Amino acid sequence: MRVWASLAVTFAIVSVVPAGAAEAIDAKIVVHADKLGAKIDRNIYGHFVEHLGRGVYEGIWVGEDSPIPNTRGIRKDVVAALKQLNPPVVRWPGGCFADSYHWRDGVGPRDKRPASINGSWGNVPESNAFGTHEFMDFAEQVGAKPFVSINVGSGTVQEADSWMQYMTAPADSPPGKERAKNGRTEPWNVPYIGVGNETWGCGGNMFADTYADEFRKYAAFVRTWSGPRGQLIAVGADTDEYAWTETMMKRAMLWRPDPSPMAYNVDRPLMPMLSLHFYTFAGTWQKKGASTGFGEDGWKAGLKRAYVMDELIRKHGAIMDKYDPEKKVGLAVDEWGTWWDGTKGASTLYQENTLRDAIIAGMTLNIFHDHADRVRMANIAQTINVLQAMVLTKGEKMIVTPTWHVFEMYKVHQDATRLPVDVTAPAYGDLPSLSVSASRDAAGLVHVSIVNLDPEKAARIDLSGVGKVTDSRMLTADAMDAHPAFDQADPFVPVALKNIKAKGKAVWLEVPSKSVTVLTVQ
Among all residues, which ones are annotated catalytic? 198, 335
Rounded Cα distance, 176 and 185, in Å: 7
Quick one: which of 372, 402, 291, 383 has its CA closest to 338?
291
CA angle 373, 376, 377 (to 5 degrees): 150
In sequence order, what are the residues at sequence separation of 6 or more whose Cβ sits closer than 8 angstroms to the Cβ of residue 508? 460, 461, 462, 463, 500, 501, 502
Amino acid at 51: H
In angstroms, the Cα distances linking 375 to 167, 203, 227, 267, 391 are 27, 23, 25, 19, 25
Closest C-alpha among 209, 328, 194, 191 to residue 269:
328
Q: Which residue, among 133, 3, 10, has the nearest Cα to 410 in the 3D structure? A: 10
| Strand 116-118 relative to strand 74-75, pairing | unpaired
Q: Are 309 and 365 in contact (CB under 8 A)?
A: no
3-state secondary structure of 29: strand
